[in-house]
């Protein structure tokens, strides 16, 4: 059976073509797979709650719910750095299963580690401190008890600050640390790690204690797009439109 992985779709009203493509995937070939995993950053703008009815949020939630309502579909979503605060309300609205970061799954009797990927970027010390703060349970509780207008304003200001901060950082700092990658894989005793966040689509061959291993990095959906496919042939990347056309 086929399993699909995507990440960093960054869906927004500014790129309606990607939303159309995502809905086309959910309404077509993705309905015949064993499981569909979205490993963070489904949204472009910071998630502020299901009460945010600005486009394309309602359309995305509706598409996810329609997919989840199909018999035998399994939809798993991991929080990313744009959607730290996806919660039970989102889970109930979409019918998805929210999964922790990291999460272990089994494919072909082998353990696979799934992550969004931002916690691997440990050279970016300022970001890691901010992430620890923003994901603290008390901070999340306070945030969701704020009025919608205030949450919206905070999300807008954070987005602006984050975009400016990234522009000032070197590519090396905001990439995954090789040392952290190897340590994480050793800690979880896995030979395959799949993550997104860095937007640097690739399959990296590694060696752990003399054993071949792989780090698979999912691409983003800004200019291009990609889906990682796992089936009887192993892992491979395809453009989403190609995957849809090849599996009608």
- Averaged pLDDT in 10-residue chunks for the chain of 248 residues: 97 96 97 97 92 94 97 96 93 98 96 98 95 93 93 86 76 91 98 97 95 97 96 96 94
Measured CA to CA, the distance from residue 77 to residue 96 in angstroms comes to 7
Cis peptide before 133 (omega within 30 of 0): no
Measured CA to CA, the distance from residue 179 to residue 233 in angstroms comes to 30
Residue 47 Cα to chain centre, angstroms: 13
- The pLDDT of residue 4 is 98
- The pLDDT of residue 238 is 98
Could you tell me which of 21, 36, 26 has the C-alpha nearest to residue 230? 36
> Do the Cβ atoms of 97 and 58 come closer than 8 Å?
no
- The pLDDT of residue 242 is 97
- The pLDDT of residue 159 is 79
Q: What is the pTM of this model?
A: 0.96
- For residue 236, give the 3-state DSSP assignment: strand
CATH of domain 3-118+176-246: 3.60.21.10
- The pLDDT of residue 124 is 95
Sheet with 3-6, edge to edge strand ranges:
97-99, 75-78, 35-39, 3-6, 227-231, 234-238
The residues spanned by each domain of the chain are: 3-118+176-246
């Amino acid at each position: 059976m086929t399993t699909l992985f995507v990440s960093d779709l960054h869906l927004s009203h500014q790129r309606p073509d990607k939303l159309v493509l995502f809905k086309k995937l959910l309404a077509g070939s993705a309905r015949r797979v064993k499981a569909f995993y979205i490993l963070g950053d489904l949204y472009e703008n910071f998630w502020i709650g299901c009460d945010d009815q600005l486009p394309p949020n309602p359309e995305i939630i509706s598409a996810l719910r329609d997919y989840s309502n199909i018999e035998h579909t399994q939809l798993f979503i991991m929080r990313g750095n744009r959607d730290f605060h996806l919660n039970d309300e989102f889970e109930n609205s979409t019918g998805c299963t929210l999964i922790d970061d990291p999460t272990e799954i089994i494919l072909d009797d082998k353990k696979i580690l799934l992550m969004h990927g931002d916690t691997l970027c440990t050279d970016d010390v300022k970001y890691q401190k901010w992430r620890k703060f923003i994901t603290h349970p008390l901070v999340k509780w306070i945030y969701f008890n704020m009025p919608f207008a205030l949450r919206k304003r905070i999300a807008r200001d954070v987005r602006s600050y984050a975009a400016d901060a990234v522009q000032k950082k070197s590519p090396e700092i905001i990439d995954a640390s090789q040392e952290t990658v190897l340590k994480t894989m050793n800690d979880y005793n896995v030979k395959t790690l799949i993550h997104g966040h860095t937007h640097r689509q690739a399959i990296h061959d590694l060696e752990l204690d003399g054993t071949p291993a792989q780090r698979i990095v999912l691409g983003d959906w800004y200019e291009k797009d990609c889906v990682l496919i796992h089936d009887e042939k192993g892992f491979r990347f395809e453009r989403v439109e190609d995957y849809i056309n090849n599996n009608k």
